[in-house]
Amino acid sequence: MVDFTLTDEQIALRELAHDFAEKEIRPVAWELDKDGGWPQDIINKAHEVGLMNTHAPERFGGPGLGYLDGCLIEEELAWGCSGITTSLGANGLASAPIALGGSDEVQDEFFGELVAEPKLASFCLTEPGAGSDVSSMRTRAEKKGDKYVLNGQKCFITNGTYADWYTVYAKTDPDAGHRGMSCFLVRRDDTVVIDKKEDKMGQRASNTATVTFNDTEVDAKYLIGEENKGFKLAMMTLDRTRPGVAAMATGIAQAAFEYATEYSKERVQFGVPIAMHQAIQFMIADMATKVHLSRLATWNSAVLLDQGKRNTIESSHAKRFASDSAMEVATDAVQVYGGYGFIKEYPVEKLMRDAKIMQLYEGTSQIQRLVIARETLLPRRAEAPAAA
Ligand code: CAA
C-alpha cells in the first residue's frame, strides 16, 4: 500500500523545523551569505532543540529518528537557508559510516559527544585529484603496531575548519584499487591541519575547507568496518545521505517557488499582475510540478531506507531530479522577478547561487545518472541484498 500520510510526530517535527527556519535562520541568512559568516549561534540553538544528529542511534543517547524524519527536517531548514542547513546537517554525513561500521565502544564515544554538545564532524572523502573517481584517492593509512598512520590531503570538506572529528577514507592497500580503501574515525589534533577556507559562489554560510593529515596516528579501534572495505562503506553512506541532499534541494525549490508566486501576484505590467499572463502561469505551473515530484522522489528514497531496503537507484533518482529541479526552479524564479531578480537586494538571487552546489556535492548530477544507468543495466546491482 502506498500511503503518503505523515504521522503526528512527523508533522510536529516538520513544524518545529519550519518554525526554526522562519524565526532563527531566515532573519540572518542573507547577512551571513554576504559576509561568508559562520552560524555558530544557530548551530548551538539547533542542537538545543534537537534538530541536529537526528539519526544518532537511541542506544547511544541519540533521538534515533528515521530517514524520512530527517528529510522532512532538512527540507524545512533549507527552505530557510541551504548553506546554514549544510552546516547543521554535515554531522549526519560523517556519522553514517560510524553507525554502519563502528564498534559499540567507538559509537558510544562518538555519538555520546555529538549528542551532549554542539560538536561537529566532517566527512573526508574527496581529494584534489579524486572527486567523482573515489578509488583514485592517494591519502595513505599505514599500519604500525596497534595504530594506523594517516598522510594525505582532503578538499571541499564541509565544516572542516570547525570539526572535532573527521571520518577519513584512506588507502590501506594502494595497489588494490577500490578494494584497498579503509575508513577511519579521526579525532582532531595538532597533526590535522586546516589549510584553506574556500570562498564560494553560494551556500556561503557553510564552511568548506582543505584538511591535511600529517603523520596522524589513529588507534586501530577507530578503523570503521573491515580493513579494505571502505569503498563500499562510502557508497552505502551516500545511499543514506543523498535523500537528505534531495530534501534540501526541494527546500530551495519550494522557497524559490513561493517567492516567485508572491511576486507574480504583486508585480503589475500591461495593466495586470504578471500572474495573469499565461507566460508566467506556465512557468509557475512547471515550478510547482518540479517541487512536487522532487518531494515525492525524496520521500520514496527515504522510506525504502526506513523499511530496511536498498535504495541506491531511488537515492540517485531523487538526488539528480531534485538538484536539477532546484537549479531550474531558482533560475525561473529569477526570470519571474525580471531585472530585480538579478539584484542582491531581492531573495531569489541567493537561491540561484545556492542551488548550484546541489548538482555538485555528494555526487554530481552526471554521477547520479551513471549510478542510475549501471543499476538499470547491470542486474548484479539491482539484485544485490539490502545494505545493512
Ligand atoms: N552499495 C554497496 N556497494 C556498492 C555500491 C552501493 N551503493 N555502489 C558500488 N558498490 C560496490 C560495487 O558492487 C563494486 O563491488 P565489487 O568490488 O564487489 O565489484 C564496488 O563497490 C565498486 O563499484 P564500481 O565499480 O561501481 O565503482 P566505481 O569506481 O566505478 O565508482 C561511482 C562508482 C558511483 C562513480 C562512485 O565512485 C561515486 O559515487 N562517485 C561520486 C563520489 C561522491 O559522491 N563524492 C561526494 C563526496 S562527499 C561530499 O560531497 C560532501 C561534502 O562535504 C562536500
Final residue of a structural domain among 81, 116, 151: 116
- The verdict on residue 385 lying in a domain is no
Please state, rounded to an integer, the average pLDDT across all residues of the chain: 96
What residues are paired with 216 via a beta bridge?
Answer: 150
pLDDT in tens, 243-275: 999 999 999 999 999 999 999 999 999 999 999
Q: Whose CA is nearest to atom 24 of ligand 1?
A: 178
Which residue in this structure is represented by grid cell 579503509? 182
What is the C-alpha R_g of the chain?
21
User: What number of other Cβ atoms are within 10 A of residue 56's Cβ?
Assistant: 24
**What atom in ligand 1 is closest to the CA of residue 157?**
53
CB 93, CB 57: distance < 8 Å? no
Q: 262 and 203, same structural domain?
A: no
Q: 125 and 34, same structural domain?
A: no
pLDDT in tens, 21-49: 999 999 999 999 998 999 999 999 999 99
pLDDT in tens, 145-193: 999 999 999 999 999 999 999 999 999 999 999 999 999 999 999 999 9
Q: 285 and 364, same structural domain?
A: yes
What per-residue confidence (pLDDT) applies to 1? 63
Rounded to the nearest angstrom, the distance between the alpha carbon of 156 and the centre of ligand 1 is: 18
- The verdict on residue 386 lying in a domain is no
Element (H, E) at 236: helix 230-266
**Integer Cα distance of 82 and 59 in angstroms:** 30
Calculate the alpha carbon distances from 43 to 61, 74, 112, 118, 246 in Å: 19, 14, 17, 7, 21
Rounded to the nearest angstrom, the distance between the alpha carbon of 344 and the centre of ligand 1 is: 38
Burial of residue 151, with CB atoms counted within 10 A of its CB: 0-12 exposed, 13-18 middle, 19 or more buried: middle
pLDDT score of 385 more than 60? no
**Integer Cα distance of 66 and 303 in angstroms:** 9
Final residue of a structural domain among 213, 230, 247: 230
Pocket of ligand 1 (CB under 6 A): 93, 123, 125-126, 132, 134-135, 156-158, 178-179, 231-232, 235-236, 238-239, 312, 361-363, 367, 370-371, 387
Domain of 151: which CATH number?
A: 2.40.110.10
Rounded to the nearest angstrom, the distance between the alpha carbon of 251 and the centre of ligand 1 is: 26
Q: Whose CA is nearest to atom 10 of ligand 1?
A: 232
pLDDT in tens, 277-323: 999 999 999 999 999 999 999 999 999 999 999 999 999 999 999 99
Q: 246 and 296, same structural domain?
A: yes
Q: 42 and 140, same structural domain?
A: no
Which listed residue (349, 362, 375, 383) is catalytic?
362
Domain that holds residue 288: 232-377
Q: 310 and 184, same structural domain?
A: no
Cell of 41: 549561534
Rounded to the nearest angstrom, the distance between the alpha carbon of 301 and the centre of ligand 1 is: 17
Q: 145 and 67, same structural domain?
A: no
- The verdict on residue 244 lying in a domain is yes
**What atom in ligand 1 is closest to the CA of residue 134?**
37
Final residue of a structural domain among 177, 196, 230: 230
Q: Whose CA is nearest to atom 30 of ligand 1?
A: 133
Query: Per the structure, how many domains does the chain have?
Result: 3
Q: 351 and 331, same structural domain?
A: yes
Q: 213 and 165, same structural domain?
A: yes
Q: 216 and 127, same structural domain?
A: yes
Q: 368 and 269, same structural domain?
A: yes
Is 75 an active-site residue?
no
- Residues 344-366, buried b or exposed e (16+ Cβ, 10 A)? eebbbbbbbbbbbbbbebbbbbe
CB 104, CB 111: distance < 8 Å? no
